[in-house]
Chain A
């Protein structure tokens, strides 16, 4: 049972990653293109039987605006739009001559295809989270490795500093750093800025664990042997000690992902992350933040569903959820070295 759930989580995560990487090919429409007749249009139904009961290859009907004020739509059954596979460099879409979007997840407030934007947004959001996790691991390895190897006052200073960063609320720290920079930046600049900022607040989780492992391995015979034959500290650290942290690092990087995905969402939600028309899950969420609009057009919440699905998948796949996530790892790395007990 447990392995089935784990594999399910891993499969979901893999699907999200593939979706993000292959987004331009998988997306049925161009994400930025606005279709004025399809503001808040509901998801289209893929059909194989037409109104007269004849069978066809999968097709959709276009939406006809039934009530402009209530934004309710009904299907225009007069014409069929067959799905076209592997044309225009896309997996599936409608004939571009038709001038129709294929709204499998419905349209947003500007008449854009939600599914396409969700896939393109996955690139941005998951890209930021993954690269930031890698960045946090690099900084954490450096600080934790030095602290664990050097010991004494260096160790004490670095770990106190890590403690300080650790207790800061992630969102506030990133928010304060982001708010003092120019508000309007290009999408690329925002991307790398967020990667950097998140790495800067995420590293202490890594550093604590790396320090504990390195400090423990330092006293082992093989390290003493390396010192005895005259290996320098950098060589010992890089070649002999840090490999011991490999398993921990993969686990830790995974643990950071949910927090980073959420940080991107929160920042974009308040307008300090990716701004429209860039597609990211947070930016989409912020466009959907009108409660009365959500109540009428629930498909606007699909970015929220995507975030929850990915975070749940991470928690299930790594088995970390059952062990208390990032906090659990932190509690365990602390137990190895009781704080204050000199």
Chain B
């Protein structure tokens, strides 16, 4: 059990190292950052000055060594624009993004799973078909478009403009709903099929034969078993949430990591982009590690003896 966990952690660390290395080299292959940073009318000596200042004149291997060494000490360099340490800039935005992503995931999970269960229990009814049609709509809807629709709707019907500094519950709920919508559809469909499969298992019949009432059969026996594949989906959906949050933050001018990433890519702020990518990779890795652990908690069959 301990060994199993250590192996998982080791794998996670290797994954992160690969991510760091890949982003480092790809960002530098995409063009000369010094060229992009200085004003277009600056002379070659100005470019050269900055190139030396930021160490871009060194061989790639030296740059990589320096960067990696600093990273191990918890430093990810300074922003090429503001000169502030990147770690601080990014961390400032993390709570906003976590709030948005967390709310979106909560909406997707709670709503998606419950309508999935209802659809499975009322299989082939009008309700079932409505839920399934809605879930197709949910994950087929591009979130940048759905976000704009929401903003427009709120502005026209409620006479409220949602976006940017506009706080209040609607200011959070609207982007969170936009972001969670696609995942919600996926959770609903997945829950439905997983529940249908579980409901047909012999042990559900056995539970009925021993006199277990309907609600208890569903919540004590069916749902925990049906949840096992859904846990996998949670891990996978995180990638979609992170990707979606970049667009959604932009649409709603939400001051989070996503907005920061877009700005940094546009201005080729190497250190910032690298650190955000690393942060995303770390989030995904840790989340999937948690999913693996959660498996062990809910499914005794995969516990290693």
Chain A partners chain B:
no
Q: Which residues of B contact A (CB under 8 A)?
A: none
Q: Which residues of A contact B (CB under 8 A)?
A: none
